[in-house]
């Protein structure tokens, strides 16, 4: 079926199950004995966010798919081996980096990138001497933190306030968009920068149009169901896919969708759900508009809200039950006390005994992964 054919008509349940299966969150995926690299390549990326109220998001995303079989040291080891590579605060499978380097090679392109990106590049060109100094210092002594690099900018970076006078930080971010520098490693929260040619695999680059199309195909495969166009959230992987896949409409939801052909073919396969605790940045819930449209789930990450205004907690973990999102676990990893403290289990709908037991088992598995004991607050 092509892009101009009659759209597939999906029930709300079918749409949810497509999304869950595509994200490797059904019971059948858990039994497939996947490894970290296979999960990352299928999901297309892991977002790097170091908030550790429970655990960093990338660890939670992997644990949600792999469970207690996840080796705590493996993701960091894979980064050291450059089999996982950080690009724009996202960890990519090393074989997929070329699809992103193809866009870097033409950035900023008048047909692909917004005016603000061209203005940012003009700032880099105005500070050409600083650019050269940064690249020379990295070539000689990299990897280095931003604090070790010389600020010789003649035109300071100006913004609404957040990035004012942070010239080197902005220079590095923009040179990374261009594919000239890259994050080679991290020491705690500090990024260590190096020349991109020493970090990225030296794979041949496809034409940018081909690369963007393939990224759309892979993104749809990871999401199962997506909009052709969607708003880009700052710092996030896009959630739109263009005209790849096949057209679809979803019962009770306005507008057109694109659906992955492999997921369409699996609609008739019996769905095996499970209970999973998700990172607040998990792709199943990160696009909040899509989350509401497909799952009718009321959720926000409340870490930036005053404590008195929080409904579910600082870093509450969404609870997936089968093909529905039905609650949140408010927990804190108290590493000094050796405890994963569960402050509350919020049930959007009352859990039956089997669901409660499964949620508690997942909490215990997560605590074991973190080397902590579970403490249920009264």
* 3 pLDDT above the threshold of 90: no
Digit-coded pLDDT (tens) for 203-215: 999 999 999 999 9
* 131 pLDDT above the threshold of 50: yes
* 197 pLDDT above the threshold of 80: yes
Distance CA(45)–CA(41), nearest Å, equals 7
Q: Where are the beta strands (DSSP E) in 180-228?
A: 181-187, 190-195, 225-226
Mean pLDDT of all residues belonging to the chain: 94
Describe the crossing of helices 128-141 and 167-177 by its angle, rounded to 10 degrees: 80
| pLDDT for res 160 | 52
* 234 pLDDT above the threshold of 80: no
Digit-coded pLDDT (tens) for 142-167: 999 999 999 999 999 986 555 445 89
| pLDDT for res 71 | 86
Joined tokens for residue 123: 């700032």
| Contact by Cβ (8 Å): 259, 225 | yes
Distance CA(250)–CA(92), nearest Å, equals 31
- The CATH fold of domain 95-198: Arc Repressor Mutant, subunit A (1.10.10)
Instruction: Give the pLDDT band (50/70/90) at residue 229.
Output: confident
| pLDDT for res 235 | 57
The stretch 216-236 carries a mean pLDDT of 86
| pLDDT for res 69 | 77
- In this prediction the pTM is 0.93
Digit-coded pLDDT (tens) for 270-288: 999 999 999 999 999 999 9
| pLDDT for res 162 | 52
| pLDDT for res 72 | 81
| pLDDT for res 37 | 97
Q: Is the peptide bond before 143 cis (omega within 30 degrees of 0)?
A: yes
Domain ranges of the chain: 8-94+206-376, 95-198
* 119 pLDDT above the threshold of 70: yes
| pLDDT for res 236 | 64
* 239 pLDDT above the threshold of 80: no
| Max Cα–Cα distance, the chain, nearest Å | 66
| Contact by Cβ (8 Å): 251, 12 | yes
The stretch 62-70 carries a mean pLDDT of 90
Instruction: Give the pLDDT band (50/70/90) at residue 1.
Output: very low
């Amino acid at each position: 079926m092509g892009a101009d054919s009659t759209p597939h008509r999906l029930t709300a349940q079918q749409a949810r199950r497509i999304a869950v299966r595509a994200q490797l969150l059904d019971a059948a995926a858990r039994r497939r004995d996947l490894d970290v690299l296979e999960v990352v390549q299928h999901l297309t990326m892991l977002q790097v966010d170091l908030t550790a109220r429970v655990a960093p998001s990338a660890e939670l995303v992997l644990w949600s798919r792999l469970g207690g079989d996840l080796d705590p040291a493996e993701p960091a080891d894979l980064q050291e081996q450059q089999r996982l590579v950080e690009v724009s605060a996202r960890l990519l499978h090393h074989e997929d980096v070329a699809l992103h380097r193809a866009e870097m090679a033409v950035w900023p392109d008048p047909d692909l990138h917004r005016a603000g990106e061209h203005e940012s590049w003009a700032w880099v060109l105005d500070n050409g001497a600083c650019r050269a100094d940064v690249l020379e210092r990295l070539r000689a002594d990299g990897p280095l933190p931003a604090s070790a690099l010389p600020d010789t900018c003649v035109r300071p970076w100006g913004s609404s306030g957040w990035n004012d006078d942070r010239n080197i930080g902005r220079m590095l971010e923009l040179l990374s968009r261009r594919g000239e520098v890259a994050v080679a490693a991290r020491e705690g929260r500090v990024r260590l920068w190096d020349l991109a040619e020493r970090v990225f695999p030296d794979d041949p680059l496809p034409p940018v149009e081909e690369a963007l199309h393939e990224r759309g195909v892979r993104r749809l495969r990871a999401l199962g169901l997506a909009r052709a166009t969607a708003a880009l959230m700052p710092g996030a992987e896009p959630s739109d896919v263009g005209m790849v896949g096949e057209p679809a409409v979803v019962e009770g939801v306005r507008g057109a969708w694109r659906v992955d052909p492999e997921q369409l073919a699996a609609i008739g396969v019996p769905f095996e759900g499970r209970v999973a605790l998700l990172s607040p940045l998990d792709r199943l819930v990160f696009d909040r508009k899509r989350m509401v449209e497909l799952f009718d789930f009321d959720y926000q990450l409340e870490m930036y809200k005053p404590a008195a205004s929080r409904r579910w907690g600082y870093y509450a973990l969404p609870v997936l039950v089968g093909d529905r999102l039905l609650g949140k676990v408010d927990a804190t990893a108290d590493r000094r006390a050796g405890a994963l403290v569960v402050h509350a289990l919020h049930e959007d709908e009352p859990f039956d005994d089997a669901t409660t037991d499964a949620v508690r088992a997942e909490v215990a598995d997560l605590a074991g992964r973190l080397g902590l004991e579970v403490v249920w607050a009264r």
